[in-house]
Structure 1
């Protein structure tokens, strides 16, 4: 009886550990954030009434997965493997993540050429260099990563994400980039910028220790939250101007969810709060649009 009880106790402990391991793998392998990029790309098609291009969405997914795992390539290349880091999961599986990054790059390139995506190759390369250079110095030790430039990193994130998830699918679909498309891009830029500010709050101590000036370091954590909420309010103004009916209701609802996440953000919140909820606000955004148009 004791052995059976011990087995049951062990099984009961193993299930939460398994769930935790799966959640960590999903979040810290960047599969989750790449999925957010995939669905935001799909959302662009839904909002514009254009037929969904799965190859384009997969290209965005794989490109995002590559970019977010390039630091693992750098660490593996340098043989860097310090224990006790905040990024313990990423350090533990850095070789596997480096392999994922390389396979994602191969997959993205294959889709680009096999399906003949109609987005300028040099623009793709430029955004790739900006994205990789955000965390990895392109000349390694000679130049600091772009995230070290004062106040720049949130704008880089918003710019790349809005271009890739809005303008890429529209250009690939041969849609003329005029006022309507630019307003959609501006909306996405503001929404992503509001969320990106939360990661400045998360990284406040790290950025201060590395002498990187960010908005929390300039105006404080509280005012950074207010700035994020102001951006969401401006986003709602544009949404109200460009949408109506169920889509407007859905986008307003998604913005309210994002606002709650912003309001409760603080440096003391665990990293999973940002990895799951702040990034997850993008999935909520897609879900409300999808339901509004279903």
Structure 2
């Protein structure tokens, strides 16, 4: 039992789970736009997410010498290094324009983590900014990277998917912000800190309604897609409604983060 818990904790702490969610979202893009040659982009996103998330989580603490090199952390460092090598390999498999966009999101990640300007905090600590940067990076990496790499045109459907995906990630991050409310610095001005937990849940619910209603704007609207996305929206709403400060880390970091993976699995089964 203890071994299983240690493995699960390592799986979450090393960002493998969130990377798998990103991988799933890229594969969903492939399904939505019939992109068959998407594996290079998906694996680039997977390994890049491990690097990016681990860098964000551990860099500041390591530089402040608040982290001792425990065995688990050493393993995460090795995993991140191997992921960096794999990410570099798949980066060179991408089209030129995809590489350019990937560099933009790398710079966003660095801006989010490192203080580039004298006497200024990093973007992660800028009041109220975190949730928008995270949602933007997810949309860019999981949607626009594979679209550009495949040469698919930027149609109205692509931008509709972008808005829907931004809404979905935004609401998922709201769940994390509610659960982390007791730990977050008040100066971060997260959504729950600014408007309260109740209004945050109401905001999330309204956004999910918009997520579903946007489905009717697609030129190739079909009921199967509406039913599937409604089910995903209801799953997110369930986690949002029952989120509170005393929830365990597994509630958001494992279960809520699994929703993109569930969506991908359902798409595969429905083919």
Give the drift of 1:281.
Answer: 1.6
- Look up the match of 1:235: 211
1:87-98 superposed matches below 5 A: 93-98=72-77
Q: 1:40 and 1:24 mapped to 2: Cα distance?
A: 23
Q: Cα–Cα, structure 1 residues 202 and 91, in superposed 2: closer, same or farther, change >3 Å? A: farther
Give the drift of 1:270.
Answer: 0.9
- Look up the match of 1:7: none
Larger CA deviation: 118-127 vs 197-206: 118-127
Q: Deviations over 1:96-136 (max 9, x none)?
A: 222322322221121111x24343433322211212332x2
Q: Is the 8 A contact 1:138 1:145 kept in 2?
A: yes
Matched, 1:150 2:130: no
Give the drift of 1:138.
Answer: 4.0
Show structure 1 runs of 5+ residues with no match.
Answer: 1-15, 83-89
Give the drift of 1:256.
Answer: 1.2
- Look up the match of 1:86: none
Q: 1:138 and 1:102 mapped to 2: Cα distance?
A: 23
Q: 2:140 and 2:67 mapped to 1: Cα distance?
A: 34
Q: Is the 8 A contact 1:251 1:288 kept in 2?
A: no
Matched, 1:271 2:256: no
Give the drift of 1:169.
Answer: 0.4
Matched, 1:217 2:193: yes
TM-score normalised according to structure 2 size: 0.91
Matched, 1:132 2:110: yes
Q: Is the 8 A contact 2:10 2:72 kept in 1?
A: no
Give the drift of 1:26.
Answer: 1.3
Q: Is the 8 A contact 1:253 1:288 kept in 2?
A: no
The structure number with the bigger radius of gyration is 1
Could you say what the CA RMSD is over the residues aligned between the two structures, in angstroms?
2.1
3-state secondary structure, aligned to 1:206? coil
Matched, 1:159 2:136: yes
Q: Is the 8 A contact 1:232 1:259 kept in 2?
A: yes
Q: 1:94 and 1:290 mapped to 2: Cα distance?
A: 35
Q: 1:141 and 1:269 mapped to 2: Cα distance?
A: 38
Aligned counterpart in structure 1 of residue 79 of structure 2, from 95, 100, 119: 100
Aligned counterpart in structure 2 of residue 72 of structure 1, from 38, 41, 58: 58
Q: 1:139 and 1:80 mapped to 2: Cα distance?
A: 21
Aligned counterpart in structure 1 of residue 202 of structure 2, from 213, 219, 226: 226
- Look up the match of 1:6: none
Higher relative contact order (CA 8 A, sep 6+): 2
Q: Cα–Cα, structure 1 residues 190 and 213, in superposed 2: closer, same or farther, change >3 Å? A: same
Q: Cα–Cα, structure 1 residues 149 and 73, in superposed 2: closer, same or farther, change >3 Å? A: closer
Q: Is the 8 A contact 1:37 1:60 kept in 2?
A: yes
Larger CA deviation: 181-190 vs 96-105: 96-105
TM-score normalised according to structure 1 size: 0.84
